[in-house]
Structure 1
Amino acid sequence: ALPVYPMKIGVISGKETAALQDILSTLKKRWPLAEVYLYYSLVQGNMAADQIVQRLLQADGDALDVLILARGGGSIEDLWPFNEERVARCIVQLKTPLIAGVGHETDITIADLVSDFRAPTPTGAAQAAVRDRSEVAMELNQLKIRAYNAMMKLSERQALQYKALADYPAWQNPDLLWQDAAVNLTMATHRLTVSASRIAKQRERLQTLTAALLADGALVQNNKREIWSKHNEILLQIRNRLGEKERYQMAKALSVLNALSPLAVMERGYAIPFKDDKVLKSVEAIAVGDILKLRLADGRLSASVLEKEKKHE
């Protein structure tokens, strides 16, 4: 790719030729800022190809921005050095971009085909190498206008933002900042004071209720104790009123009840079998291997059924 704004340009052409003068005048008119380095060479004849190769290599080693290889029009024999293989190979190996402007627009050489850019004439090669300063100046002016407009828009946006901040009441009157905070603090202090007063009243009321409950509790206990004493006294009086007959009948009834009680039976060595928390009444309700629970007079135990036998009448 060709450089956009080359500052060092090398020209390989014949000495004091019309083509060289056209290139120099075009470069000076379009881009006078560039430095032009001249590398004179034969551009026709048997020795021209070797000299063109030497000048190309010399210019490529001088760290230039772009090279121009040019000569004016002529016959095919006059332009033949630019068709030589060694010239073409040299152009391909160059590190510096090369513009070829050989002959007229209808003249095409191998050097034109292998260069980085082919110009129709030497003047066209100079035009391709540099930009027109008037066009660059116009572009710079447009960029300047665009940059100015962008800065003005940015400035206007910033001014609107700053105006919104400047119109903020706090900036107009900074005292409002701490005045609002002071009002809020005063209101919060008042709320805390009211809350503390309510808490103190509730604590006082709670203490009063606690004292009343304690007093009522003591009174209830005393009443219960007094009622219990009266009932106990009545029971003692009833017991004392019972005669010997009543005591005898009561003892007899207790003896009968004790004889009929299952506990009395178990005291004589019997046990009550249970299965699934139900009293077992028949051997049909169990199977060999079942686990039974036996209740004895002094406790319980578990037993496994090893054999069963039904009573035959």
Structure 2
Amino acid sequence: MQGVGDKIMPIKVPKQLPARSILEKENIFLMDTERATTQDIRPLNILILNLMPEKEKTETQLLRLLSNSPLQVHVDFIHTASYQSKNVTESHLEQFYRTFGDVKNNRYDGMIITGAPIEHLAFEEVVYWNEITEIMDWSKDHVTSVLHICWGAQAALYHHYGIEKETRPHKLSGIFNHELIVPTAKLVRGINDEFLAPHSRNTDIAYDSIKDNENLIALDKSDDAGPFLILSKDEKHIMITGHIEYDAITLAEEYQRDKNKGLDIHMPTGYFPENNPNKAPLNRWRSQAYLIFSNWLNYYVYQETPFKWD
């Protein structure tokens, strides 16, 4: 583990990664060196395929949630080789990222596939679709559990289970209420029977398409936003249709971005206090986010992954 003074993070990330200094200032959980070196466990190896355009923001959001656990976690970031984001410097990618070709001989305890702003395209029209499907197929034998977020969830549902996304007449953006329908699932232990979750997408996954698939379970329902948490019955795949990792201001930044582009965009639902975009929004989904990630790390990764891969 790399030191931060006389303390270290339970997540092993490069010392120069910008997200690290941000999280340290937030007093994110740190573990002292003596405790880390005497724990009779090995770090969990987590691979993050970051498809979001503003990669540094997504790194910080995901690492923050992964840090809320006594488990030691080593994180590798990869980006697509067939497409390079225009919103991140080449030096950042070279310093902190690898490609699938660099890690395909490795085995990982867990993997996260993020969202991507490409919902308007059919899956097969996405420039890097073949690369994504190769990675998803590879994960079946090389990763214990995979967490898919937003477009990553839609891609997994389509590729693994043949479920197509449905285009919405208007973008779904805002904070929506969800009701648990499988409260005994390990993923939602500690979460209230009703909880709030952020969504930002132009497409939907129909609840009936999940209900009718014998390999999937929808853990919640929402009249406005559809299912948020979807679990494969073999517990290999977890699909999150929204953005539980978002910061309080992320939807506001997206709303302003789309307005500046002249798009016909609605104000995010249930987000700004008194529906006033001049008032700072509050994070009302933080506890759910931490619980979902810690439950995933514990029950679906740590409890299931082999101590030594064959």
Greater RCO (CA < 8 Å, at least 6 residues apart): 2
Structure showing greater radius of gyration is 1
Q: TM-score, normalised by structure 2?
A: 0.20
User: Hey, which of these two has a bigger chunk of strand by percent?
Assistant: 2
User: Hey, which of these two has a bigger chunk of helix by percent?
Assistant: 1
